Amino acid sequence: MLVSAPSVSRLNALHCSACGTIHSAFALQRVSACCGVPLVAGYDLAPRPPGAVINAADASMWRYGALLPLLDEKNKVTLGEGFTPILPLPRLGARHGLASLLLKDEGQNPTGSFKARGLSMAVSKALELGVAGCIVPTAGNAGVALAAYCARAGLAATVVMPRHTPAAFKEECYWYGADVELVDGLISDCAARVRQLNAAGALLDVSTLKEPYRLEGKKTMGYEIAEQLGWQLPDVLLYPAGGGTGLIGIWKAFREMQALGWLAPGTRLPRMVAVQAENCCPLLETYEGRQPNCQHYRGRPTLANGLAVPHPLGEALMLRVLRESNGTVVAVSEEDMLAGMRELGQQEGLFVAPEGAAVWMAARRLLASGWARPHEQLLLLNTGSAQKYLDNVAGRSQR
């Protein structure tokens, strides 16, 4: 029997991620007023079967609307994001002796990356909360997604990105009518410029984890993984971590599903792997104890733009996920990203962003070291399509 699926949000609070203090979920919030750290949305998670909560007719991330923070459907700003396929990679798996290798292809999202999820959510809330426009520092994909969703919502968008970002990212923002500022440096330098531009606070700053809504959009990946795998989870999940919203969000979804009673009996949560670029790996440095104060860390540009985040605000939350899941961090070289792109392209017909290629090369490294085992199920998160990265990768399809 089909149970009707109300999408009424069960949002009930925003929690400070450091001290737990509760803040109103019904007013515009940024970071926590108490500690200045990310706020995390809380819901009424009283157990109910998935069929009574999920809107099965909606083939987008909004099928989980009851577990998202949008209060009124009329404010939803959507381009059909989410509910991306999980593809088995049989040829690649067999080549490396793996029993079950899976890839969730976030490159199939509107605007070509999983940033669509977070920004669909954040722009919808911006509309609901009545702000005039949004601003973001970005390595590329977040800016493109913000520009697209703001255009669709009729809101102003300001995008601040490094000058060295491949042209396709800038160009797409222009076509959506966004204001684009180019800055010499990395995303951390763009963030400083955003603070200047938005000193008066007229715009909603949708920087990673400086508002609680992008995280909620990203968490839908966790719900989808469980639903698509029949309420079971892989043994190991590999994610390319820049600011870390995907890693933190997916883990949050797993915890929420435990509370909701949705996971198959005996299901263990995956070991979560954060994959970084050797050129910019602050999380690895902290994880290995070399860099207790991340403010001094200097990253270099990388082919994987999305991983060039020298000072992630969510570092403590990422480390918590790694600790709770028995996970680890791996950093991948630029050459290895290209090798991973070639292998995924030639073996499976996938043109993945360098971030996604890094994830595959990290899996190979963990298999070689014995940290991951051939009989385990590995799920790779490919966060974007390679199309917009051509400035950096064109001509390098052969060694």
Ligand X SMILES: *Cc1c(COP(=O)(O)O)cnc(C)c1O
- What sign has the CA pseudo-torsion 256, 260, 263, 266? positive
Q: Is 241 among the residues that bind ligand X (CB under 6 A)?
A: yes
Place of tokens 């426009």: 133
Stretch that binds ligand X, among 1-9, 191-199, 243-251, 281-289 (CB under 6 A): 243-251
Q: Read off the tokens for 354.
A: 């360098």
Nearest to 220 by CA among 108, 111, 68: 68
Residue placing its CB nearer to ligand X in the complex, 122 or 260: 122
Q: Is 115 among the residues that bind ligand X (CB under 6 A)?
A: yes
Which one of Zn ion, ligand X, none interacts with residue 32, CB within 5 to 8 A by kind?
A: Zn ion
Q: How do strand 179-183 and strand 204-205 relate by DSSP bridges?
A: unpaired
Stretch that binds ligand X, among 37-45, 77-85, 124-132, 239-247 (CB under 6 A): 239-247
**Considering the complex, what minimum distance in angstroms separates the CB of residue 14 from Zn ion?**
11
Q: Read off the tokens for 167.
A: 């042209």
The contact set with Zn ion (CB under 5 A) reads: 16, 18-19, 21, 32, 34-35
CA angle 76–33–181, rounded 5-degree value: 60
Which one of ligand X, Zn ion, none interacts with residue 173, CB within 5 to 8 A by kind?
A: none
Which one of ligand X, Zn ion, none interacts with residue 385, CB within 5 to 8 A by kind?
A: none
Q: Is 207 among the residues that bind ligand X (CB under 6 A)?
A: no
Which one of ligand X, Zn ion, none interacts with residue 240, CB within 5 to 8 A by kind?
A: ligand X
Stretch that binds ligand X, among 90-98, 241-249, 251-259, 391-399 (CB under 6 A): 241-249
x/- string (CB under 6 A) for ligand X, residues 351-390? Answer: --x-x---------------------------xx------
Residue placing its CB nearer to ligand X in the complex, 234 or 240: 240
DSSP per residue, 179-222: EEEEESS-HHHHHHHHHHHTTT--SEE--TTSSSHHHHHHHHHH
Residue placing its CB nearer to ligand X in the complex, 239 or 262: 239
Number of Cβ within a 10 Å radius of residue 135: 25
Which one of ligand X, Zn ion, none interacts with residue 384, CB within 5 to 8 A by kind?
A: ligand X
DSSP per residue, 21-51: -EE-TTS---S-TTTSS-EEEEE------GG
- Encode burial over 15-53: b for 16+ CB neighbours within 10 A, e otherwise: bbbeeeeebebeeebbbbeeeebbbbbbbebeeeebeeb
Binding ligand X (rule: CB under 6 A), the pick from 166, 212, 244, 299 is 244
Residue placing its CB nearer to Zn ion in the complex, 39 or 380: 39
Q: Is 141 among the residues that bind ligand X (CB under 6 A)?
A: yes
Which one of ligand X, Zn ion, none interacts with residue 17, CB within 5 to 8 A by kind?
A: none
**Considering the complex, what minimum distance in angstroms separates the CB of residue 43 from Zn ion?**
19
CB neighbours of 136 closer than 8 A, spacing ≥ 6?
Answer: 142, 143, 146, 157, 158, 159, 160, 194, 205, 206, 207
**Considering the complex, what minimum distance in angstroms separates the CB of residue 39 from Zn ion?**
9
Would you call 169 helix, strand, or coil by DSSP?
Answer: helix
> What is the Cα–Cα distance from 2 to 321, expressed in whole angstroms?
36
Residue placing its CB nearer to Zn ion in the complex, 19 or 192: 19
Nearest to 219 by CA among 113, 299, 114: 114
Which one of Zn ion, ligand X, none interacts with residue 21, CB within 5 to 8 A by kind?
A: Zn ion
29-88: contacts with ligand X (CB under 6 A): none
**Considering the complex, what minimum distance in angstroms separates the CB of residue 369 from ligand X?**
23
> What is the Cα–Cα distance from 97 to 116, expressed in whole angstroms?
34
> What is the Cα–Cα distance from 106 to 306, expressed in whole angstroms?
14
**Considering the complex, what minimum distance in angstroms separates the CB of residue 296 from ligand X?**
21
C-alpha separations of 60 from 31, 78, 81, 202, 209 in Å:
28, 9, 5, 31, 23
Q: Which residues bind ligand X (CB under 6 A)?
A: 113, 115, 141-142, 208, 240-246, 306, 353, 355, 383-384
